[in-house]
Amino acid sequence: MSLYSALQYLLFVAIVTVCVKPLGGYLHRVFSQKRTALDRLCGPLERCIYRFAGVDVATEMTAAEYAAAFLVFGLICTLLLYAILRLQRFLPWFFPAWQTTPLGPDLSFNTAVSFSTTTTWQAYGGETTMSYFSQMVGLCAQNFLAGAAGLAVGIAFLRGLARESCATLGNFWVDLTRGLLRVLLPGALLGSLLLVWQGVPMNFHPYQSVTTLEGASQVIPQGPVAALELIKNLGTNGGGFFNANGAHPYENPTPLTNFLELLAIVLVPAALTNTFGRMVHRRRQGWMLYWVMLFLFSAGLIALHLSEQRPNPMVHGADFTISRLQAGGNMEGKEVRFGIGGTALAGVVTSNGATGSVNAADDSFTSLGGLVLLVDLLLGEVIFGGLGTGLVGLIMTASIAVFLAGLMIGRTPEYLGKKIGPRENKMIVLYALTGPVVILALTAVAVSTRAGLAGLATNQGPHGLAGIVFAFASSFANNGQAFAGLSANTPFYNVATVIAMLAGRFFVAIPALFFAGLAGAQRNTPESRGTLRTDSLSFAILLAAFLIVVTALSYLPVLTLGPVLEHLQFRI
């Protein structure tokens, strides 16, 4: 590992760790409706929104009402975005000479669901498909709204665990508005200005047709790139303005922009662990969850770096050594300005959560490198993850670990003073089984039908299987990145990935909200000498081991037939 890569990794981890406490405290004040520095600016606008929408701030919702509001909001956003995409040729800033990819009903529906679920799965090239109006009013707006909705669900979940003998989880519309005005908008504005400073375009100019030094004609796309770029990361969305996403020099021109965009993905999900500790008045609980996240993150980062630093066994006669003039290792599909270090960091950050803003071609990673990305997706967003959803996943998994530990000692499982009884267990099981059932079932259909196999444009065998599993795992994780060897803009994949997106967004959020509702309605059980400590090092080890073992038990066969088999073939 080069010194530059090691320093970059250490600096990234250090910045995230330092920001956990102050940012976590700010989020706690925002959603506890305590005073913040933005009250004077956001307060009047917030009250206007409540008055216009007819929202009663004092009225709270049960778990069922909160889930219903979340579903209705997602449906409305999907329909509005679908209408914009279908009508974009009649709306402003549409250039028919450049936007040549047709937006048919299936692709429009897939894209609408994709952005309203924060998946931002892109089966199209942004610069040849979307008008400026669609990018700004449609896609960029959904990055804000869908991100704020996910954050609201996460906060409601934490609120349920923190309350006692209470049947409500808060008000979805209040949480949505406060998250939008006091978290996402300020962060996106500040970050977008930093990107413009680094050279990211922010204009509404038509595309420019120029003649190169060789005499060839080249079209240079432009647009309001900076506005979309930062919120896609901060809101854990990931859809790129251009087809190349975070690898495009207009979206991500320098190593500094790469570093800033990756920080935007991680900072809020990491800080929510501290917010959780403050809400339940047990800060050690929050720090324990953060250290588990950081351990798994670091393990994946080291594994990916070592995999990509090795030479590609299929390339002969090339120099793969690290020197002052080259990054060494497997640089196929990677940007020279980022090298192995910037690419590996981006690969782990984006695959761990719901932000598939990749800066390299996932399809060109080594077999073991692709395996690391796939395992991160299959873990279920528990390593930082999306806004709210990542911490929800880790806490739900911790509840399973508590239940198993309770069985081993013959004691009724308790987590944070809440007993995990039959009703709570049903919600946990629904949450835990949804991912394997959806991902593996859709993969089975894809590999056993002509329509599914037709998407394998360039790769068959183990790599093709890995590409299909990766597509459904990414869709279910509301992540959006994919292996380029899979042609996903077909009716089959446009429909199949929508099923995975909706399941990953709603089929896991609803059981989690009901679990939080059941927990909030309970009276806290006082701690005793037999209470399992869930803020200790031993429980952190149990939780990390449980995550790895359960993922292996669920997906080991398909991983063995995919990237593992491909790696063994290369070594023979």
**pLDDT value at residue 22:** 95
**Over residues 347-360, mean pLDDT:** 86
pLDDT at 183: 92
* Mean pLDDT value of segment 246-273: 90
Residue 283 has pLDDT above 80, yes or no: yes
Q: Is the pLDDT of residue 156 over 90?
A: yes
Give the pLDDT mean for 281-304.
91
Least confident of 99-103, 143-147, 557-561: 99-103
> Contact 117/476 with Cβ under 8 angstroms?
no
Contact present, 200 and 257 (Cβ < 8 Å)? yes
Helix or strand run (H / E) with residue 505 = none
If you average pLDDT over residues 67-82, what whole number do you get? 93
Query: Residues 471-482: pLDDT tens digits?
Result: 899 889 888 888
- The pLDDT mean for the chain works out to 87
Q: How does residue 89 score in pLDDT terms, banded at 50, 70 and 90? A: confident
pLDDT value of position 409: 65
User: What is the average per-residue pLDDT within 83-109?
Assistant: 84
Coil, strand or helix at 265: helix
Instruction: Give residue-wise pLDDT tens across range 513-557.
Output: 999 999 988 888 777 766 778 888 888 888 888 888 888 888 999
pLDDT the model gives residue 571:
67
Q: Where residue 400 falls among pLDDT bands split at 50, 70, 90?
A: confident
Paired tokens of 116: 């309203």
pLDDT of residue 437: 93
Q: Are 404 and 415 in contact (CB under 8 A)?
A: no
pLDDT above 90 (res 238):
no
For position 273, what pLDDT does the model report? Answer: 93
- CB atoms closer than 10 angstroms to residue 528: 8
User: Where in the chain are the domains?
Assistant: 3-206+219-571
Give per-residue pLDDT as tens, 180-191. 999 999 999 999
Nearest in space to 103 (alpha carbons), one of 489, 456, 501: 489
Alpha-carbon distances, residue 564 vs 44, 88, 469, 554, 558 (angstroms): 56, 44, 13, 16, 9
Task: Give the whole-number percent of the chain exceeding pLDDT 70.
Answer: 98
Under 8 Å between Cβ of 147 and 236: yes
Q: Which is more confidently placed, 453 or 406?
A: 453
* The pLDDT of residue 335: 87
Angle formed at CA 395 by CA 389 and CA 401, multiple of 5 degrees: 140
What is the pLDDT averaged over residues 145-155? 92
Q: Is residue 470 a contact partner of residue 547, using CB atoms and an 8 Å limit?
A: no
pLDDT in tens, 302-322: 999 988 888 777 776 677 777
Q: Are 378 and 551 in contact (CB under 8 A)?
A: yes
Q: Looking at 408-466, which runs of residues are DSSP E strands? A: 414-415, 418-419
Provide mean pLDDT across the span 225-252: 85
Judged on CB neighbours under 10 Å (0-12, 13-18, 19+), 533 is: exposed
Query: Is residue 487 predicted with pLDDT exceeding 90?
Result: no
Q: What is the pLDDT of residue 572?
A: 60
What is the model's pLDDT at position 530? Answer: 67
pLDDT at 463: 86
Contact 143, 232 (CB under 8 A): yes
